[in-house]
Structure 1
Amino acid sequence: MSTNVLESIDVEVPVSTAYNQWTQFESFPRFMGGVERIEQLDDTRTHWVTKIAGVQREFDAEVTEQHPDERVAWKSVTGPQQAGAVTFHRIDETHTRVTLQLDFEPEGVVEKAGDALGIVGKQAKGDLSRFKEFIESRGAEEGAWRGDVNRAPQQGETPPPPA
């Protein structure tokens, strides 16, 4: 049974600053609990090492959709089954709403028990709070990747016409 988590937070930086920082995957361990290391393999693939509730996991993830200042979506391609998206909504010139959605399949007794207790939702909320603190204290992003990745058509969908 799949679990869904949805959390939002307002940050006091322009939308481009919040988005640009989020594209710096290797900095995630600085504000995401349980994320030990992320390696950027290429423009759209990353390798993650996590340790949550004593369970260490390694997996590769792929960015499936990315649009500057709007959205970054991903899915795991190895390891535990998970997918997610983060969206960026401009509130005004200096405020942005960051919304994180996660879909995952808990594995094993420890993860299923943690899921039943809402641990992942609490973790996501804490990660967003730490992201807010991280980006607001800096006032600027560490870098940016502003490439555009279009979502591949799903089975049964008609692909978009060429541009």
Structure 2
Amino acid sequence: MSTVRESINVDVPVTTAYNQWTQFEEFPTFMEGVEEITQVDDKRSHWKTRIAGVKREFDTEIIDQFPDDRIVWRTTDGETSQRGVVTFQPLDEAHTRVNLAVEFEPEGMAEKAADALNIVDRRVKGDLRRFKNYIEERGGETGAWRGRISPS
């Protein structure tokens, strides 16, 4: 397994940053390589990605979600194996640090090469920069889901 960890400070309150991150179907707007996400229910989503020319489809489930604090997920089915956590740390009333950690198993030569060349790290860093620009330019979230999902 490979792990990518990145953080970024965004100029919005923690609730705004968290609320936007719960809008999974908006991810293609700021995540490079994510073509489509379909929210199946509160816990499950179906993803379609194209990274380094490789198309993948997979399902994820949220295993822990606590408003304004964290979202933890893992893949459950499909062509990729990953798990991750995004946390939200208030810096003050108007600024938030978003921390993202993703563990993944590179599949095939293209993904293993991309991992070895730190392309995945750069992609995640770019996704966080685009998230920052997206939420700061909007000035507010496009929606919110404030439910609690507890680990079993």
**TM-score interval, smaller chain:** over 0.9
- Residue in 2 aligned with 1:30? 29
Larger Rg: 1
Q: CA deviation at 1:40?
A: 0.3
Q: Does the residue aligned with 2:143 lie in a helix, a strand or coil?
A: coil
Q: CA deviation at 1:17?
A: 0.1
1:129 paired to 2:123: no
Task: Give the distance between the partners of 2:133 and 2:31, measured in 1 at CA.
Answer: 12
Name the count of aligned residue pairs.
151
Q: CA deviation at 1:121?
A: 0.6
- Residue in 1 aligned with 2:86? 86
Identify the structure with the greater strand proportion.
2
| Structure 1 moving runs of 4+ over 3 Å | none
1:70 paired to 2:69: yes
1:142 paired to 2:142: yes
Matches within 5 A, 1:5-84: 5-79=4-78, 80-84=80-84
**Alignment RMSD, CA only?**
0.4
- Residue in 2 aligned with 1:102? 102
Task: Give the distance between the partners of 2:85 and 2:119, measured in 1 at CA.
Answer: 19
Q: CA deviation at 1:45?
A: 0.2
Q: TM-score, normalised by structure 2?
A: 0.99
Q: Does the residue aligned with 2:135 lie in a helix, a strand or coil?
A: helix
Task: Give the distance between the partners of 1:147 and 1:120, measured in 2 at CA.
Answer: 30
Task: Give the distance between the partners of 1:64 and 1:50, measured in 2 at CA.
Answer: 21
Q: TM-score, normalised by structure 1?
A: 0.92
Task: Give the distance between the partners of 2:127 and 2:105, measured in 1 at CA.
Answer: 19
Identity of aligned residues (%): 60
Q: CA deviation at 1:151?
A: 1.3
